[in-house]
Amino acid sequence: MSGKPRLTYLNGRGRMEPVRWLLAAAGVEFEEIFLETRQQYEKLIKDGVLMFQQVPMVEIDGMKMVQTRAILSYIAGKYNLYGKDLKERALIDMYVEGITDLMQMILMLPFSPPEAKEKSIDSIKERATNRYFPVFEKVLKQHGQDFLVGNKFSWADVQLIEAILAVEEKIPAVLSGFPQLQAFKIRMSNMPTIKKFLQPGSPRKPPPDECYVETVLKIFKK
């Protein structure tokens, strides 16, 4: 093994995309193994490498890590993106959990029946503009700093820029009432590691399409 983290998941965003974002933002190169068949998935289970019989799985520092939250917090801690003390870590955790709640709605959207998609997008817009984005707009305005916690780049910033871009794909004008977040988006997108990740040909995955949905259902639905 090269020493690079190795990610095992499907060739799509799903629950692995925040991991790709965080590693890329930290400037860490990684390798990927893409599951394409149910047989590959069942072999991982049979071999005992998936603790809860679930992916994502990330091989890092001699561990085979599962559970997205555990993977992300380990990477954030390892690469100094998790605050300077317990209070900053608690803030980062709260922000990340909120963003994850919003991203869960985005995650499930491709699996909605066609007749329900418009309603689902309306729900995402309502939650983003009334519940989640106002929190971060207020934080950035109140402390007048470039980053969410401790005036230092952290996991929370990475999760937020990922969420902003994901919501904008469905609702292009979603930031129209949030000038602080508009400025935040520009700052984050111009950070060298993130700018590189946003370029064509990077490990960042495109929005899920019908082929991705079919692959998910083929591998994970009995």
Say whether both 127 and 181 belong to one domain.
Answer: yes
Strand order in the sheet with 6-9: 31-34, 6-9, 57-60, 63-66
What's residue 3's pLDDT? 86
- Domain extent at residue 25: 6-79+198-209
Does residue 133 carry a pLDDT above 90? yes
What's residue 1's pLDDT? 44
What's residue 17's pLDDT? 97
Give tens-digit pLDDT for 58-99. 999 999 999 999 999 999 999 999 999 999 999 999 999 999
Is 215 inside a domain boundary?
Answer: no
Is 147 inside a domain boundary?
Answer: yes
Region of poorest pLDDT, from 21-30, 103-112, 179-188: 103-112
Is 1 inside a domain boundary?
Answer: no
| pLDDT range class, residue 114, cuts 50, 70, 90 | confident
Say whether both 125 and 49 belong to one domain.
Answer: no
Two tokens at 222? 């009995």
Two tokens at 81? 């993106």
* Domain of residue 54, CATH code: 3.40.30.10
| 212 alpha carbon, distance to own chain's centre | 17
Say whether both 97 and 154 belong to one domain.
Answer: yes
| For range 171-200, the mean pLDDT | 97
Give tens-digit pLDDT for 8-18. 999 999 999 99
CA angle 15, 17, 22 (to 5 degrees): 120
Say whether both 10 and 75 belong to one domain.
Answer: yes
Is 91 inside a domain boundary?
Answer: yes
Is 153 inside a domain boundary?
Answer: yes
| For range 151-174, the mean pLDDT | 97
Say whether both 49 and 20 belong to one domain.
Answer: yes
Sequence letter at residue 72: L
Say whether both 72 and 105 belong to one domain.
Answer: no
| pLDDT range class, residue 28, cuts 50, 70, 90 | very high
Sequence letter at residue 199: Q
| For range 161-181, the mean pLDDT | 96
Say whether both 26 and 51 belong to one domain.
Answer: yes
| For range 167-196, the mean pLDDT | 97
Say whether both 57 and 98 belong to one domain.
Answer: no
How many domains are there within the chain?
A: 2
